[in-house]
Structure 1
Amino acid sequence: MTLQPHRSRQPLREPWTTERFYQERALACDHALDSSTRSTYSSHLNSYLAFCDAHAFPYTPTADILSFYVVYMSYHIEPRSITSYLSGICSSLESYYPGVRKLRNDPLVVRTLRGCMRMRSKPVQRKRALECTDLQRAITTYPPRSYDDHLFMALLFTGFHCLLRLGDMVQPDKPELRTLRKITRRASLTLDDEPVTFTLPTHKSDRAFEGDHVVLTNLINAGPDPVAIFRTGSTSTATGGVEARTGTSIVGSEAEYAPVRVFIEKTLSQYRLHQLSRDEAVSAFSKYFHPVAEKLGTPVENANSAV
């Protein structure tokens, strides 16, 4: 018996030219990776190209060249990081050399990387986890006096109680990496009743673009109330830094940008951590928002002795 398929009526759609197909496909492939991931992968590719130029190797990847790259870089960076470097190199070169991922998984490259990890890897040093007493000491030692202070405390307490990372609440310093699609809109914020809720629109690992519904409430019942601090930070009308006031963040006004990392660095400087380098300052503050152990760089009680 032969089954005849049901012929449904299709809407009229304008056919595309071959040039249009190539253009749209190239655009889709370009957006397959997040902007921050593309920037990181570009840095990894530049590392590989500089390595080939310095040693007069061809750019065409081979198992030998990749294994040489692994050995060479293990003397300059943590060998565990070479894995992500190879991922970025493969992603960037795959369009030109389709077999690069097979070369990445070649036994010679895998064994070389494993050997470098055994010989030169260093133990992971984790920072002390942030505790409720640290939050109490922070707000007692440095009571908020301006809009920026209220904003910083709101970010600090919200990140701790909601297990948010720094990237969930601020934007990158580089304008080309900023996107409004990742900013929490003030329209999603509910302040009428407790708990306070807002929506994180998306992040680079959220392929379904479903977002996250964040709930802020005081579950610990010890120390300052995070909800009260959040309300104060979001409704403050005092003048503050331009990075803080031009934001569509959970505590900013409806404007163009959310607070950036530079704002966090400046705030850390005001909190007597100004002798830290830029990377150290950002790293120290980012520890506040790590959901497990890497939350705090310098304890608040040791801030005075650190400068």
Structure 2
Amino acid sequence: MGPSISSRLRGRFSRYAVVLAEADVACNQVTFFLEDVTLHREIKASRVEDLCPANSYEFRVQNGTSIDLRTSGSMLIAGKTTGVIALLLQALLAGPDGHGSQVLIIDPKQAEPSRLPRVVSLNADGDARAILSALSRFADSIKERQSFLNDRSTETGDAVHWWDAGLHVSLLFMDEYVALRTLFPKRASKEDPDYCLATFDGLVKRIVTMGASAGCYAIISIAEASVEEGGLPSMLRSACSTRVLFKPTLPEARLIWGAERLLDLGAPRTFSPGDAWFSSTDGAHDRIGFVHFPIMDFPVYRELGRLLDLYFRE
């Protein structure tokens, strides 16, 4: 019914379309939610400072839409890397917190980001040991930050959340995650028993499942929404409570959210760069909705490199 209703809206409602249909448990009633689909809510940043977050626990996506890290977890993003950079820039603009916070970028493709300071990539011979070491240090930082919070909780006699303790978000971004997994041998050697896929998977699992309470989150980026053998483990898909699909198609969306979650979506639309479907367990965006990530009208990689250098100098 949603597309039929949308196509018949005329006059002052011509800009509106059904964006969500919700039925009650007994299916006795269906509520259609309409929205002005021509209204532009995207953030237009002519300089990197325009992306400055209002606080340490939110990432701005568009006007009126943010990822609230107090109630959401790690992120699964399929598609365009530029949208992820908008989130990384916000974490860098917040600055380090003096308690082991990091903005760790792992680029196995050895593309543009690999030339930036502090970005971890492959060695010249294709060895990925540096990536494994960086992941291990990030996982260890979770223990240290959680220990600090536990000590504060003991002092106050009540639970102390990372955002109340003055901690800033600690962020791990893994680009081309599916390709990254293929770099590690499936079986460990006697000479180097830790250099294998099982070690990599174990570290990622620990970060994704245990990091949020210490303000540590992963952004797992995949080129295609594959959960088949050799692709994205289903456990990680389930553990990532914030999900983004750029320039979405229904087949990919089914792999990200499952077919049942897509039944409430309204009529299909034409997508442009930066457009995405988005959901998060923050209490405000549990349903899949349409968003447009920030438009950045400045040299993105130059600013990313400058802020990375500044972040780790402080």
Range into which the TM-score falls when normalised by the shorter chain? under 0.3
| TM-score with structure 2 setting the length | 0.19
Larger Rg: 1
Structure with greater proportional helix content: 1
Which structure carries more relative contact order (alpha carbon 8 Å, separation 6+)?
2
| TM-score with structure 1 setting the length | 0.20
